[in-house]
Amino acid sequence: MSDLVDLQSPHEIGHEMRDEIRRISDHLRRRRQVRSTIMVALCGVALAVTAVPLLLLLFELFHRGLPVVLHTGFYTQLPQTPSLVAPNVTGGVSNAIIGSIVLSAYAAVMAIPVGVLAGVYLAESDSKLATMLRIIAQTMAGAPSILMGLFAFSFVVRALHIGFSAIAGSFALAVLMLPVIVISSEIAVRGVPNTLREAGLALGAKPHKVSMRIVLPAAVTGIVTGIILAVSRAIGETAPVLLVIGGGYINSWKPLNPVSALPLSIYENAKSQWPSLRTQVWGIALVLVVFVFILSLSARIWASRKQRAR
Amino acid sequence: MDQEFMAKVKMEVVDKSTAPARSVIAMQLKDVAVSFHGRTAVRDCTFDIAKNRVTSLIGPSGSGKTTLLRALNRLHDLTPGAKVAGQILLDGVDIYRGDLTVTELRTRVGMVFQRPNPFPTMSIYDNAISGLRFNGVKKKSILDEAAESSLRSAALWDSVESRLKVAASNLSGGEQQRLCIARALAMDPEVILMDEPTSALDPIATLRIEELMTSLKQRVTVVIVTHNMQQAARISDDCAFLLMGEDRAGELIEFDTTEKIFNNPIDPRTLDYTLGRFG
Ligand SMILES: Nc1ncnc2c1ncn2[C@@H]1O[C@H](COP(=O)(O)OP(=O)(O)OP(=O)(O)O)[C@@H](O)[C@H]1O
Ligand SMILES: [Mg+2]
């Protein structure tokens, strides 16, 4: 106790004591500087380890992909199988581009309303049912995506007799997207300050009106970000659609037709015996990456605009 | 008693002779107690809130002022473990057991919170009439009129008339709080509850809100929680003093006209508190 009092009143400390304190603090400062230099160096190494493979990957992607995607035929033509007389004929991937758009659009239409409402429910309720739903969503989020494919296969393709179709694929993708949307919506809704809910209630608004008219709009940035994340993930998935979409070689927007998808064409072209088809793989991958990039970029821009409008 | 100090405090209580007499009662509290998970937060509250007067709730931190205020428009309903005992009457009807729905109660008893909390995604206009919209009013002419009159009553109209469609979050803190008052006024409530409505504001914004409350007395009954003794003395006509008992639960020590509470209280603890001797 008396030590503390001494330290708190410096004018009572003798010269010797003060010099000693200064010496120790110099020593400590030097040690701190050394430690901080080491930490900065380590961070630099970690950054390099992360960035280098990514940059190499991007370089490879553009280096090999650009020559493929610079032909309009790549986007407008259907795939063609090369033959011994014309080994370099490949056609385009219009069916896969349309298929991917169709699949993710239908999947989004199915998953967004259900996922957002479930997320709101989880955030606003603490019932047993909510706890159960939350556990299910978290488990589903970690489940291997091929499982969704199997589920869609046995349920939509077989049990419902719908057959290989866009709708079966988007069903699988919707199931894949659902937990992501549910969890991110719940987090966004929980982030809305309680004072806003109370303000609504105090004005005589019924609880469901408070949820829909006050909480949901206030959480919309987080919710949309979650949706985009889910769509970006779904659009690049091969496994869930592999078993159920039938790999259609036509351009079709219809839900009951078989369709193709960008990741599926990568998969199929990559195992082809024709070098010309294998070369095309990088172009398809580039298109896919650009798709996802545009999605997440527009989400960011939209979110920051929204934030600034507040 | 130091006479000088007493004299000073006496001067602070503004002349309230213009306030209507305590003849008509807006809300009645009978032995009200609120507990959370079986632990009593506030109890023994029995007093009448007189119509068209300002009633202040004062007392140290934790004495249950907010808790009591929130019981008056049933904001504890959704708090797990919260229980309100005793009787609270609005116009003679028990608000917890009578045939008055929560929704109706809350349209008749409005609330303004400590921190300004306009709806961030709505414009100034939409905020002002949000309560009407929540309760199903759709007609544009009615909404327009309500927006203008409530913003005028909250002394905000002149500064926002030209930017009604702008997001409410662009307003200053004081303006936001006045918007929240306008939002409550648009419902044309009989009673407005205010929980330290000026504690987040600067002295000038505070003064404007105080003026506002005094002028609002014509149409509504105001109940206000405040930590500011001068504020309680300046604007309230009646005053309830709460204090923690031995078991840390708040209880009503004294209720009377503000003048009596500040100048001539019955309980010595009331005097100690209003003189700033503790709490
Ligand atoms: N939701 C709640 N759950 C549990 N206890 C609560 C809750 N709300 C308030 N309390 C308790 O009730 C007591 C009174 O709190 P209250 O907020 O009403 O005090 P106050 O007089 O408004 O204080 P202050 O002046 O600091 O605002 C406190 O002990 C608090 O811990
Ligand atoms: Mg309080």
Q: Is B165 on the interface with A (CB under 8 A)?
A: no
- Residue A10 pLDDT: 54
Atom of ligand 1 nearest to the CA of B196: 27
In a domain, A215, yes or no: yes
* pLDDT tens digit sequence for B178-190: 999 999 999 999 9
* pLDDT tens digit sequence for A140-161: 988 898 988 888 888 888 888 8
Which distant-in-sequence residues (6+ apart) come within 8 Å of A11 by Cβ? none
Residue ranges per structural domain of chain B = 2-12+22-119+189-274
pLDDT at B95 > cutoff 50: yes
Atom of ligand 1 nearest to the CA of B69: 18
The nearest CA of chain B is from the CA of A273 a distance in Å of 57
Contact A203 B110 (CB under 8 A): yes
Query: For residue A56, how many other CB atoms are within 10 A of its CB?
Result: 10
Q: Find the range with the poorest average confidence among A200-204, B2-6, B82-86.
A: B2-6
Query: For residue A159, how many other CB atoms are within 10 A of its CB?
Result: 9
Tokens of A147: 């499982």
Q: Is B78 on the interface with A (CB under 8 A)?
A: yes
**Please, which pLDDT band fits residue A117 given cuts at 50, 70 and 90?**
very high
Which of B66, B117, B123 has the most A C-beta neighbours within 10 Å, making it the best mutation to test the interface with A? Answer: B117
pLDDT above 90 covers a percentage of chain B that reads 74
The nearest CA of chain A is from the CA of B94 a distance in Å of 17
B27/B107 Cα distance (integer angstroms)? 15
ipTM above 0.90, yes or no: no
Residues A205 and A160 both lie in one domain = yes
**Please, which pLDDT band fits residue A276 given cuts at 50, 70 and 90?**
confident
Residue with token string 């105080």? B210
Q: Which helix (H) or strand (E) holds B96?
A: none
- Residue B22 pLDDT: 75
- Residue B93 pLDDT: 93
Backbone angles phi, psi at B271, to 5 degrees: -60, -45
Residue with token string 């982030």? A191
Residues A151 and A298 both lie in one domain = yes
- Residue A83 pLDDT: 79
Which distant-in-sequence residues (6+ apart) come within 8 Å of B157 by Cβ? B148, B151
**Please, which pLDDT band fits residue B72 given cuts at 50, 70 and 90?**
very high
- Residue B218 pLDDT: 87
- DSSP letter (8 states) at residue B203: H
Q: Which helix (H) or strand (E) holds A242?
A: helix A239-242
Which of A203, A209, A307 has the most B C-beta neighbours within 10 Å, making it the best mutation to test the interface with B? Answer: A203
Q: How many domains in chain A?
A: 2
Residues A180 and A232 both lie in one domain = yes
B42/B248 Cα distance (integer angstroms)? 9
Region of B59 on the Ramachandran plot (φ > 0 left; ψ -120 to 50 alpha; else beta):
left
Q: Give the SS3 label for residue B219.
A: coil
**Please, which pLDDT band fits residue A303 given cuts at 50, 70 and 90?**
confident
A243/A150 Cα distance (integer angstroms)? 7
In a domain, A193, yes or no: yes
Which distant-in-sequence residues (6+ apart) come within 8 Å of B267 by Cβ? B241, B253, B254
Question: By CB neighbour count within 10 A (0-12 exposed, 13-18 middle, 19+ buried), where does A8 fall?
Answer: exposed
Do residues A157 and A244 lie in contact, with contact meaning Cβ atoms separated by under 8 Å?
yes
- Residue A88 pLDDT: 76
Residues A193 and A258 both lie in one domain = yes
Residues A114 and A190 both lie in one domain = yes
Chain B residues lying within 8 Å of A220, measured CB to CB? 121
- Residue A84 pLDDT: 80
Residues A224 and A277 both lie in one domain = yes
Residues A157 and A278 both lie in one domain = yes
In a domain, A300, yes or no: yes
pLDDT at A93 > cutoff 90: no
In a domain, A26, yes or no: yes
List the end-to-end C-alpha distance of chain A, in Å, as a whole number: 52
In a domain, A39, yes or no: yes
Q: How far is the CA of B17 from the centre of ligand 2 (A)?
A: 29
Residue nearest to atom 12 of ligand 1 (CA): B41
Residue B221: C-alpha distances to residues A38, A116, B26, B96, B191 (Å): 67, 41, 7, 20, 5
Nearest beta carbon to residue B134 from set A200, A217, A309: A200
Q: How far is the CA of B226 from the centre of ligand 2 (A)?
A: 8
Residues A135 and A31 both lie in one domain = no
B145/B151 Cα distance (integer angstroms)? 10
Stretch B73-86: mean pLDDT, rounded?
Answer: 93
Look at residues A70, A104, A119 and tell me which one is the last residue of a structural domain: A70
Tokens of A70: 């610079």
- Residue A1 pLDDT: 45
- DSSP letter (8 states) at residue A12: G
pLDDT at A174 > cutoff 50: yes
Residues A54 and A184 both lie in one domain = no
Residues A155 and A251 both lie in one domain = yes
- Between B80 and A248, name the one with better pLDDT: B80
Backbone angles phi, psi at A207, to 5 degrees: -50, -40
Do residues A102 and A170 lie in contact, with contact meaning Cβ atoms separated by under 8 Å?
yes
Atom of ligand 1 nearest to the CA of B67: 18
Chain B residues lying within 8 Å of A206, measured CB to CB? 103, 134
Do residues B166 and B124 lie in contact, with contact meaning Cβ atoms separated by under 8 Å?
yes
Q: Which helix (H) or strand (E) holds B252?
A: strand B250-257
Whether the full predicted model's pTM is greater than 0.90, yes or no, is: no
* pLDDT tens digit sequence for B36-46: 999 999 999 99
Backbone angles phi, psi at A141, to 5 degrees: -65, -30
Q: How far is the CA of B56 from the centre of ligand 2 (A)?
A: 13
Residue with token string 């009377």? B256
Interface residues of chain A, partner chain B, Cβ below 8 Å: 126, 193, 195-196, 198-207, 209, 213-214, 217-218, 220, 309-310
Residue with token string 């989020």? A141
- Residue B4 pLDDT: 56
Chain B residues lying within 8 Å of A205, measured CB to CB? 103, 131, 134-135
B19/A133 Cα distance (integer angstroms)? 57
| Closest chain A residue to the Cα of B74, Cα to Cα | A202
Choose one of B34, B36, B241 to mutate for the ligand 1 pocket test, by most ligand atoms within 8 angstroms of C-beta. Answer: B36
- CA dihedral (A71, A73, A75, A78) positive or negative: negative
* CATH (domain of A132): 1.10.3720.10
List the end-to-end C-alpha distance of chain B, in Å, as a whole number: 19
Q: Report the length, in residues, of chain A.
A: 310
Residues A231 and A296 both lie in one domain = yes
* pLDDT tens digit sequence for B211-265: 988 888 888 999 999 999 999 999 999 999 999 988 889 999 999 999 999 999 9
The nearest CA of chain B is from the CA of A211 a distance in Å of 11
Do residues B218 and B52 lie in contact, with contact meaning Cβ atoms separated by under 8 Å?
yes
- Residue B3 pLDDT: 55
pLDDT at B10 > cutoff 80: no
Beta-carbon pairs below 8 A across chains A and B: 75
* pLDDT tens digit sequence for A231-242: 998 998 888 888
Residue with token string 């110099």? A26
Backbone angles phi, psi at A160, to 5 degrees: -90, 0
B157/A283 Cα distance (integer angstroms)? 60
Query: Residue A254 sits in which domain range?
Result: 94-309
Contact A205 B131 (CB under 8 A): yes
Nearest beta carbon to residue B113 from set A198, A205, A206: A198
Do residues B240 and B255 lie in contact, with contact meaning Cβ atoms separated by under 8 Å?
yes
Residue nearest to atom 5 of ligand 1 (CA): B36
- DSSP letter (8 states) at residue A252: -
Residue with token string 């003060």? A18
Please provide the CATH number assigned to the domain covering B2-12+22-119+189-274.
Answer: 3.40.50.300
Which distant-in-sequence residues (6+ apart) come within 8 Å of B160 by Cβ? B124, B151, B166, B171, B175, B179
- CA dihedral (B150, B155, B156, B157) positive or negative: positive
User: Residue B49: which of B23, B17, B73 has the closest Cα?
Assistant: B23
Residues A53 and A187 both lie in one domain = no
User: DSSP for A72-124?
Assistant: HHHHHSPB----SS-TT--B--HHHHHHHHHHHHHHHHHHHHHHHHHHHHHHH
* pLDDT tens digit sequence for B140-162: 999 999 999 999 988 899 999 99
| The B82-90 sheet, strands edge to edge | B93-94, B82-90, B25-36, B39-50, B250-257, B238-244, B54-58, B221-225, B191-195, B109-112
A92/A79 Cα distance (integer angstroms)? 5
**Please, which pLDDT band fits residue B1 given cuts at 50, 70 and 90?**
very low
Strands B39-50 and B54-58: unpaired
Backbone angles phi, psi at B86, to 5 degrees: 85, -165
The nearest CA of chain A is from the CA of B276 a distance in Å of 31
The mean of the pLDDT values for chain B is 90
Q: How far is the CA of B42 from the centre of ligand 1 (A)?
A: 9
